Amino acid sequence: MSRPVVVVGAGGHAKVVIATLRAAGRTVIGCAVRDRSEPTGHLLGVPLVAEDDLPAGAELLLGVGDNHLRQRLAGKLVGPWTSCVHPAATVAEGSVLGVGTLVCAGAVVQADARLGAHVIVNTCASVDHDCIVGDFVHVAPGARLAGDVTVELGALIGVGAAVAPKRRVGAWSIVGAGGTVVRDVPPSTTVVGVPARPITRRS
């Protein structure tokens, strides 16, 4: 019998996490927010609860899409953390999912892929054979990692982006929506376009 879950966060990604947990047969008993007073309100019928006063006996799953914020929350809250795979996702044999990792509806994780902690493989994203995906990475909806790709700590592979086989995306880098990576991306670099090239960001 699995334990009830508190989702940390109450924004758009938290809705996806709640729906994924419910589809996987889990019971969600709260959405944790930072509010120090008694929080009021619901998200998809789930009551908001204070991050500082979490219900005893529950497991936690991060419900925020921002990779830096997920890393901060994972360091601040003690867990215990749960992972979740949507029943309409495929996770192939030999693959490993780290603690707190979420695999959403329609996503595919292929054989011998290794995913770290608190990773998001979002709706209909794919992570192919032998990929290595670091902690706090987000593979956004519809993004695709070909075989033997390495994505380092905290990187974001944007909506619909693709990474060619054996390429490496450095820590905390961003591949912009729809971009195609054909050369390695250094750490802390934002790349966009086809083929993806670095840009200087305004924000």
Q: How many other C-beta atoms are found inside a 10 Å radius of the C-beta of residue 181? A: 25
For residue 96, CA distances in Å to 84, 91, 132 come to 13, 9, 10
Q: Is 150 helix (H, G, I), strand (E, B) or coil?
A: strand
Interface pick for ligand COA out of 45, 75, 93, 202 (rule CB under 6 A)? 202
What is the nearest approach in angstroms of ligand COA to the Cβ of residue 78? 27
Q: Give me the 49-78 binding string for ligand COA, x by CB under 6 A, dash otherwise.
A: ----------------x-------------
- Output 150 or 190, the one with its CB closest to ligand COA: 190
Count of helix runs (H) and strand runs (E) in the chain: 2, 24
User: Angle at CA 175, nearest 5°, toward 86 and 67?
Assistant: 55
Beta-bridge partners for 121: 103, 139
Q: Is residue 177 a contact residue for ligand COA (CB under 6 A)?
A: yes
Q: How many CB atoms lie within 10 A of CB 47?
A: 14
Is there a contact between 127 and 142 (Cβ–Cβ < 8 Å)?
no
Q: Which is nearer to ligand COA, 49 or 136 (CB)?
A: 136
Q: What residues contact 102, with CB distance under 8 A and at least 6 apart?
A: 17, 20, 61, 83, 84, 119, 120, 121
Q: By rule CB under 6 A, what string of x and - marks binding of each residue 127-156 to ligand COA?
A: -------------xx---------------
Does position 106 bind ligand COA by CB under 6 A?
no
The residue among 74 and 143 lying less far from ligand COA, judged by its C-beta, is 143
CB closer to ligand COA out of 169 and 174: 174
Q: Which stretch binds ligand COA (CB under 6 A): 66-74, 109-117, 128-136, 188-196?
A: 188-196
Residues 6+ apart with CB under 8 A from 71: 118, 135, 136, 154
Verify whether residue 129 is a known catalytic residue. yes
- Minimum CB distance to ligand COA, residue 134 (Å): 17
Q: Is 159 in the site for ligand COA (CB under 6 A)?
A: yes
Catalytic residues: 129
**Where do contacts with ligand COA occur on this chain (CB under 6 A)?**
65, 122, 140-141, 158-159, 174, 176-179, 190, 192-193, 199, 201-203
